[in-house]
Amino acid sequence: MTWQDDAGRDLVRSFGPRMAMFVRGEGSHLWDADGRRHLDFLAGIAVTSLGHAHPVFVEAVATQAATLAHVSNYFATPPQLELASRLKRLAGTGEEGRVYFGNSGAEANEAAFKLARLHGGAERPRILALTDAFHGRTMGTLALTGKPAMQEPFLPMAPGVEFIDSTVEALEQAIDDRVAALFVEPVKGEAGVLPLPDGYLEAARELTARHGALLIIDEIQTGAGRTGEWFAFQHAGIVPDAITVAKGIGGGFPIGALITFATASDLFYPGSHGSTFGGNALGTAVANAVLAEIESAGLVAGAVERGAQLRAVIDRIDSALVSGCRGQGLLIGVGLRHPVAKKVVDAALARGLVINAPNDTTIRLVPALTIGDAELDEFETLFAAALSAVEADLEGTA
Ligand SMILES: Cc1ncc(COP(=O)(O)O)c(C=O)c1O
């Protein structure tokens, strides 16, 4: 019996076959069950922001687990209050901000969906979301996710959500005083690392404010410094009504949060939402440690610098297969001229490089924020080899 047999028999079929079995990680490297070392430029899909087994992460898990892990939301704990205050500061909510804790991105967005309904009531049944944006796979967040093929097997969806193109014109046409909220993903990661048009967030802020709708920004993939600001909306200099975060804030520990600004902070009332695990002492202590390390090590500004270096590496590889790079900071989509992204991922894995393909023509690079020159050099060699192998294969079949 191999691990592939076990996985094929015992794990839910909602994921395809597992591509490898990893048993250990350190920094930006993973070791598989055969002892083979891999360079990890996926970081658990933008999650392990400090890399694997970072001493700060390890220490935070161990110390808090040995102190107090969980008491339920009937009670407060010091790490929970510290994290709420830290997230308010990093997001710039000011005094009025509030934080709801869940355990994943989808839970953060579920809370945001309920926030939108509380704001909208009967007068504002409409919610706008962007075609192709991804907000999660629970029934509520799937209803917000503008991908008909994903929704179709699970119809009917929660009502009221309408999908619009990611243009200011489409928003201008769609918005009115019956809209409760606009949901926005600032760089559509799952759709292929597609940034919004320049000026979109500024216009969205102006239009939602004019019509009394909430502007809710999904920072689950873009947050925690990945794009070169703590949160991607900060590049636009706007103030949203709410943002959702998860992935990188826990550095590998499952945690998500909804952060509200201004009057949106007054919408939830006792009993209107909750989670047993959300905001427990263990998860919040780890997220505090991860965010404090990102801050003290200057990894937010570092994402700009390392992102530019990573793009320079792609340029230097100068592959005929690559059409260009998209994204911000260390959230990079490498566009391909042929629909062979899955082949590139396989060729990379065969050479010891972990990357992924959000669609047929895009490779997503979301390494740990801690990558250095050595990782960039290693990436250059491995990615160039993977691209050449696929190019040669394409030429062979042409
Ligand atoms: C933008 C965005 N929103 C929401 C989610 C859902 O997060 P989770 O998988 O933690 O539920 C993801 C996950 O990929 C995401 O990228």
φ, ψ of residue 36 to 5 degrees: the values are -85, 135
Query: CB of 258 closer than 6 A to ligand 1?
Result: no
Nearest ligand 1 atom to the CA of 138 is 11
Output the six-digit token pair for 329: 């900071």
The b/e string for 286-320 (b: 16+ C-beta within 10 A; e otherwise) is: bbbbbbebbeeeebbebbbebbeebbebbeebebe
Q: Tens of pLDDT along 36-91?
A: 999 999 999 999 999 999 999 999 999 999 999 999 999 999 999 999 999 999 99
Specify the pTM: 0.98
Residue 232: the pLDDT is: 98
Query: CB of 190 closer than 6 A to ligand 1?
Result: yes
How far apart, in whole angstroms, are the C-alpha atoms of residue 119 and residue 125?
10
Q: Tens of pLDDT along 230-259?
A: 999 999 999 999 999 999 999 999 999 999
Residue 380: the pLDDT is: 98
Query: CB of 226 closer than 6 A to ligand 1?
Result: no
Catalytic residue among 57, 101, 113, 134: 134
- Rounded to the nearest whole angstrom, what is the distance from the C-alpha of residue 184 to the centroid of ligand 1? 13
Nearest to 167 by CA among 126, 113, 207, 212: 207
Nearest to 104 by CA among 347, 318, 283: 283
Separation in Å, CA 24 to CA 21, 36, 335, 358, 365: 10, 10, 31, 25, 21
pLDDT band at 212 (very low <50, low <70, confident <90, very high): very high
Nearest ligand 1 atom to the CA of 109 is 4
pLDDT exceeds cutoff 80 at 398: no
Residue 395: the pLDDT is: 87
Catalytic residue among 32, 188, 231, 247: 247
Q: Tens of pLDDT along 334-388?
A: 999 999 999 999 999 999 999 999 999 999 999 999 999 999 999 999 999 999 9
- Rounded to the nearest whole angstrom, what is the distance from the C-alpha of residue 245 to the centroid of ligand 1? 9
- Rounded to the nearest whole angstrom, what is the distance from the C-alpha of residue 212 to the centroid of ligand 1? 27
How far apart, in whole angstroms, are the C-alpha atoms of residue 71 and residue 264?
27
Residue 163: the pLDDT is: 98
218 is catalytic: yes
Query: CB of 105 closer than 6 A to ligand 1?
Result: yes
Q: Tens of pLDDT along 101-145?
A: 999 999 999 999 999 999 999 999 999 999 999 999 999 999 999
Catalytic residue among 32, 132, 218, 241: 218
247 is catalytic: yes
How far apart, in whole angstroms, are the C-alpha atoms of residue 379 and residue 256?
30
How far apart, in whole angstroms, are the C-alpha atoms of residue 219 and residue 254?
15
134 is catalytic: yes
Q: Cα 295–189–197 angle (5° rounding)?
A: 95
Mean pLDDT of 209-220: 98
Residue 207: the pLDDT is: 98
Nearest to 329 by CA among 300, 371, 356: 300
Residue 397: the pLDDT is: 78
pLDDT band at 34 (very low <50, low <70, confident <90, very high): very high
Residue 271: the pLDDT is: 96
Q: Tens of pLDDT along 149-173?
A: 999 999 999 999 999 999 999 999 9
Residue 187: the pLDDT is: 98
- Residues contacting 362, CB < 8 A, separation 6+: 192, 193, 333, 334, 335, 336, 341
Residue 381: the pLDDT is: 98
How far apart, in whole angstroms, are the C-alpha atoms of residue 376 and residue 381?
9
